Amino acid sequence: MSKKRYKAIDKRLITEGSEINFNLFLPNEAKSAMSLFLQSDTAVDGNAKVKLREIETLYVSEEDEERYNEYVAQHLQSIAKNSDIPTEEKARLVYAKASEAVDAMFKDPESLENVKNAQPIVNNLIDIILQDNSAVESLMKITAHDYYTHTHSINVSIYTLSLGSYLGIAGKDLEVLGMAAILHDLGKSKIDYEIINKNGKLSDEEFTQMKLHPALGHEIALKLGISDERILSGIRHHHEKIVGGGYPDNLTGDQISQFARIIGTCDVFDALSTKRSYKDPMSSFDSLRLMKQQMVGHLDMNMVDAFIRMLHKQGKS
Ligand SMILES: [Fe+2]
């Protein structure tokens, strides 16, 4: 018997019409060895898909694992659209890919390519959210519960897209909203690492530094050639307050764009409901109660109410 090691894979992730660049195996009848099911560099045609239906589990050899992971990443768009794959499985794959892409973006925020790579991620999230009424719940289960800037950006994107869609924002507008959300904290890439990752509350001086991130993010976005006002305002104005006193521009009420108000609400929700080194995470219920009771004048309460209704509806579906 061969010493090769194999890894079981989810056969639903093998997309019809694609070409695989790794071998697919299945156990022989006696389950004593693996036999080749589909050879590397072959197209997955209708025939192969029919045969796949009768198979329980497929395997890739350990040496092909990386090629298989790349294949999944490349076909994420069709995977995200495939209603046969459970939402949680899709959410896990898209979240992992999004983490990678957003991590790269924060490491080199001036790279237009890195920022462009965020768009397919946003589109994948939209596909998942629009397909399944309870997608946010599945996504919430897999969102990182520890706070990191890059996972925070993805969590905020997930909440923002769900809330935006609930509010009737659709099509290209929803894509733009998702981009604004995923980029909203881009300016944090320019803030001292020690301040961003401080194990405790910030001093006044550190907070002054931290407060520069919306304007810095706006500057980076302009340099990258982003011209959509909704994205720019989402980045620059997500820390403005409805009654004024927010930063950087001390705007009030409607001066704060709708996109910035949506993102601002989802930003606070994620900050409260994830764990920081100096605080425990709050439950969704407690986070929303605190927002509702203690953030009047700071957040747009219409957005907070819509967020509550949206999560409530999800819980029922
Ligand atoms: Fe922020």
Of the residues 32, 55, 73, the one at which a domain ends: 73
Kindly give, in sequence order, each residue whose CB lies less than 8 Å from that of residue 127, ignoring residues fewer than 6 positions away: 77, 80, 81
pLDDT value for 21? 94
* DSSP conformation letters of 41-95: TEE--HHHHHHHHT-S-EEEEGGGHHHHHHHHHHTHHHHHH-TTS-HHHHHHHHH
Residue 281 and residue 159 in one domain: yes
Residues of the chain with pLDDT > 70, as a percent, come to: 98
Per-residue pLDDT band at 69 (split at 50, 70, 90): confident
Give the distance (Å) from ligand 1 centre to CA of residue 210: 9
Residue 184 and residue 43 in one domain: no
Counting the structural domains of the chain, the total is 2
* Domain region containing 159: 79-316
Q: Is residue 40 part of a domain?
A: yes
pLDDT value for 145? 75
Sign of CA dihedral 185, 188, 193, 194: negative
Give the distance (Å) from ligand 1 centre to CA of residue 138: 25
pLDDT value for 59? 94
Residue 249 and residue 289 in one domain: yes
Q: What would the mean pLDDT of 117-136 be, rounded to a whole number?
A: 88
Q: What would the mean pLDDT of 286-308 be, rounded to a whole number?
A: 96
Per-residue pLDDT band at 1 (split at 50, 70, 90): very low
Q: What would the mean pLDDT of 141-157 be, rounded to a whole number?
A: 85
Residue 99 and residue 183 in one domain: yes
pLDDT value for 317? 53
Q: How far is CA 315 from each of CA 133, 190, 218, rounded to the nearest angstrom?
A: 9, 39, 36
Q: Is residue 31 part of a domain?
A: yes
Give the distance (Å) from ligand 1 centre to CA of residue 267: 7
Can you give the CATH number for the domain in which 299 is found? 1.10.3210.10
Give the distance (Å) from ligand 1 centre to CA of residue 28: 55
pTM for this one?
Answer: 0.86
Q: Is residue 1 part of a domain?
A: no
Residue 156 and residue 285 in one domain: yes
pLDDT value for 232? 98
Residue 14 and residue 139 in one domain: no
What's the chain's average pLDDT? 91
* pLDDT tens figures, 189-233: 999 989 988 888 899 999 999 999 999 999 999 999 999 999 999
Backbone angles phi, psi at 42, to 5 degrees: -115, 155
Residue 177 and residue 258 in one domain: yes
pLDDT value for 49? 84
Per-residue pLDDT band at 315 (split at 50, 70, 90): low
Residue 56 and residue 110 in one domain: no
Give the distance (Å) from ligand 1 centre to CA of residue 112: 21
More confident residue, 58 or 232: 232
pLDDT value for 312? 85
Residue 107 and residue 55 in one domain: no
Per-residue pLDDT band at 279 (split at 50, 70, 90): confident
pLDDT value for 316? 60
Q: What would the mean pLDDT of 137-141 be, rounded to a whole number?
A: 83
Is the pLDDT reported for residue 165 higher than 50?
Answer: yes
* pLDDT tens figures, 220-274: 999 999 999 999 999 999 999 999 999 999 999 999 999 999 999 999 999 999 9
Kindly give, in sequence order, each residue whose CB lies less than 8 Å from that of residue 54, ignoring residues fewer than 6 positions away: none
Kindly give, in sequence order, each residue whose CB lies less than 8 Å from that of residue 34, ignoring residues fewer than 6 positions away: 2, 4, 6, 25, 26, 27, 28, 59
Per-residue pLDDT band at 150 (split at 50, 70, 90): confident
Give the distance (Å) from ligand 1 centre to CA of residue 86: 32
Q: Is residue 120 part of a domain?
A: yes
Residue 33 and residue 160 in one domain: no
Give the distance (Å) from ligand 1 centre to CA of residue 64: 40
Of the residues 26, 57, 73, the one at which a domain ends: 73
Give the distance (Å) from ligand 1 centre to CA of residue 193: 15
Q: Is residue 167 part of a domain?
A: yes
Q: Which residues surround ligand 1, an ion (CB under 5 A)?
A: 185
DSSP bridge pairs for 60: 7
Quote the tokens at residue 309. 């209704």
Of the residues 73, 99, 132, the one at which a domain ends: 73
Residue 124 and residue 63 in one domain: no
Residue 99 and residue 175 in one domain: yes
Give the distance (Å) from ligand 1 centre to CA of residue 237: 9
